Structure 1
Amino acid sequence: MIDLLDFSQASIICGLLTVYVLLIKKNALRSFSDYILAAFILSQIWAAILYLLIYTGKIVSVAFLYRTAAPITFLIPPLGYLYVRTVLYNEQKFKRIDMLHLIPFVFFIINYIPFYFSPNEYKLDIITKTIQARTFAIEKQLGIFPETVFYIFRPIQSIIYLLFQWILLFEYKKANPIKMIQDQIKLVIQWLRVFTFANALIILGYVITIPIYLLLKEKFDSKVVHIIPEIILGIGFFSICCYLLIYPQALNGLPFVKYKETQSSLIENETDKIPFIYDDYSNEIKLIENYFKQTKAYLQPNLSISKVAVEAKIPNRDLSYIINNYYEKRFNDYLNEMRLQHFLSKVNTQSLDNYTIEAIALESGFSSKTSFYRAFKRFYGCTPSEYLETLKTPL
């Protein structure tokens, strides 16, 4: 039997790691779409945590949290849709009309206000009965409206937004034949498909709860029956997080995307817009090189890509794309190469009788002796001492 507790905990940990990669990691891009994806994942995590508290009975210790995940689940479908849209079209802010997506969330917050402000003893009584009989959670009215409104509207909303996501992807594919677009665009489209497929699994987990309740009401309290939708939901969420941890480059999104018009093969006198990555980013390259030449920012041990992006006035995503594709390096390797060049220039102008190798390395921007030696061996294939010996050896 699958241990739901272990599986859910693994999903939560995987989700938190993904949020770390998206927003907290030193060189995280932190694009607008990344924040939306992080909100999507955190909403899923909160719902999973509340379910685990109920599943294990520990919710009695934090009764005030009961049903707090209910309104948040109505943020998950629109966040998924908005994430796909902002990635495909490089959107950097919400539209005013996007406020309408909050209506179900606000509606159910208002619905549960009487319960949220009810006495703790009442909440404990509700929780105890829910733990004893899962059907009680569906049958007992806790808000202004019956709970069936929540359990029916949630899958309906999820299905509608899932259709919107697929429509976005199909329209994009129809307008932009995959064979005509570049690798980074293909990678992002593939990720968005995985994301949407996983969303379909999550929605299936929600939707299947209702027929199980209606058809197997007398067995609804059985863990074997009740675990099925939770496992399906968990697999969907787990897939999203694992994919991003394995293929983080998908988070680079679609920088420098332009559209070229071609004659439509479907409609006479009409044109199709084919996306491509604009290769002429010479201005951005000059900005980057001048920035490091003038500021020598690589001498800062904890320099982040976000700080460089702000100071060089280049969007995070564009900066990351140029370093990865033009210089064909990771950001840290790009910095370390400049630090090593600075180190060698110092060694050539300063006597090692007065300074140690480690002291010059730290002055060159390396955060530790270990990181310096690792970078040096990676770039030059030998230790600093061995390299310096070759410089002393006469030809």
Structure 2
Amino acid sequence: MRWLWVFTGLNTLLYPPVLLAMLLPFSTAYTTIFTVCVLGLYLLTASTLLLLRPQVLYGIRSPQLSGDEALLLPLPAPAKPEDASRAYSLSEEKKQEYRARIEAHMLQQPFRRKGYGIKDLAEETAIPPHHLSAFINQEYRMNFSDFINRQRVNYIKERMAQLDWRQLTLEGLALEAGFGNRTTFFRAFVKLTGSTPSEYQAQVAASS
């Protein structure tokens, strides 16, 4: 907004005098000199601002956070069900068929592949992508990303109950489950369990 105020202010201050100089009966030499000076000042000011702060053209960037500070930022608002979920009303028979296919396929743990997307699941279950998106939104009350992350979190919770998982760090366990990075893992785990991975780990250790 500051850049817009500056840009608009420069236009308001500099262009009207140039227009007046061209319309009023001043000498041609005086008008030319005045116009060149004003436009030169305008271009110099704008160029200097863009040279020093080019990011103003793309909006003001928020300060960068490092470490666990970034993990404590508020989660984005949950995605609303896609329009496809409203457009496709599936029969009960089709819903049962899709649920059986999806849950049977999840037993093979395809979510452990990094970058696993809805097109991958649609191709592997032979369910049209638009039907799959609508079904997940309607039946599981979540979007595809949350659905896959829930499978990954459940996988991690099962691994935490085993002794051999302690050979891995939490980050290593997250990568094994298919999460792309520590931040995504941390946020998904808190969202779906209500506790951080370390807190859950302590609970498992205390109960074993």
Q: TM-score, normalised by structure 1?
A: 0.31
Instruction: State the alpha-carbon separation in 1 of the partners of residues 165 and 91 from structure 2.
Output: 47
Instruction: State the alpha-carbon separation in 1 of the partners of residues 162 and 155 from structure 2.
Output: 11
Partner of 2:152: 339
1:321 aligns with 2:154: no
Distance 1:392 1:360, change over 3 A: same
CA deviation string 1:55-93 (max 9, x = no partner)? xxxxxxxxxxxxxxxxxxxxxxxxxxxxxxxxxxxxxxx
91, 101, 105: which one aligns with 1:291: 105
Partner of 2:176: 363
Q: Which runs of structure 2 are paired with 1:1-395 in the superposition (5 Å)?
A: 249-252=82-85, 254-256=87-89, 277-280=90-93, 281-293=95-107, 295-351=108-164, 353-394=166-207
Instruction: State the alpha-carbon separation in 1 of the partners of residues 110 and 81 from structure 2.
Output: 26
Aligned-pair CA distance for 1:327: 1.1
> Does the 8 Å CA contact 2:174/2:182 hold for their aligned counterparts?
yes
Q: TM-score, normalised by structure 2?
A: 0.56
Aligned-pair CA distance for 1:303: 0.8
Instruction: State the alpha-carbon separation in 1 of the partners of residues 111 and 191 from structure 2.
Output: 18
> Does the 8 Å CA contact 2:81/2:137 hold for their aligned counterparts?
no
- Look up the equivalent residue of 1:336 and give its one-letter code: N
Aligned-pair CA distance for 1:248: 7.1
Instruction: State the alpha-carbon separation in 2 of the partners of residues 292 and 317 from structure 1.
Output: 19
Instruction: State the alpha-carbon separation in 2 of the partners of residues 394 and 292 from structure 1.
Output: 28
Distance 1:247 1:358, change over 3 A: closer
- Look up the equivalent residue of 1:388 and give its one-letter code: Q
> Does the 8 Å CA contact 1:339/1:364 hold for their aligned counterparts?
yes
Count of paired positions: 129
Aligned-pair CA distance for 1:330: 1.0
Structure 1 unaligned segments of length 5 or more: list them: 1-245, 257-276
Structure 1 runs, 4 residues or longer, greater than 6 Å off: none
Distance 1:353 1:247, change over 3 A: closer
Instruction: State the alpha-carbon separation in 1 of the partners of residues 124 and 104 from structure 2.
Output: 11
Structure 2 unaligned segments of length 5 or more: list them: 1-78
> Does the 8 Å CA contact 1:339/1:366 hold for their aligned counterparts?
yes
Aligned-pair CA distance for 1:351: 4.1
Instruction: State the alpha-carbon separation in 1 of the partners of residues 200 and 126 from structure 2.
Output: 37
Instruction: State the alpha-carbon separation in 2 of the partners of residues 352 and 303 from structure 1.
Output: 23
- Look up the equivalent residue of 2:102 and give its one-letter code: I
> Does the 8 Å CA contact 2:156/2:174 hold for their aligned counterparts?
yes
Aligned-pair CA distance for 1:368: 0.5
Instruction: State the alpha-carbon separation in 2 of the partners of residues 385 and 362 from structure 1.
Output: 16
Tell me how large the CA RMSD over aligned residues is: 2.3
- Look up the equivalent residue of 1:279 and give its one-letter code: E
Between the aligned residues of both structures, percent identity stands at 27
Instruction: State the alpha-carbon separation in 2 of the partners of residues 347 and 247 from structure 1.
Output: 32
> Does the 8 Å CA contact 1:253/1:317 hold for their aligned counterparts?
no
CA deviation string 1:119-148 (max 9, x = no partner)? xxxxxxxxxxxxxxxxxxxxxxxxxxxxxx
Instruction: State the alpha-carbon separation in 1 of the partners of residues 206 and 106 from structure 2.
Output: 33
Partner of 1:137: none
> Does the 8 Å CA contact 2:81/2:142 hold for their aligned counterparts?
no
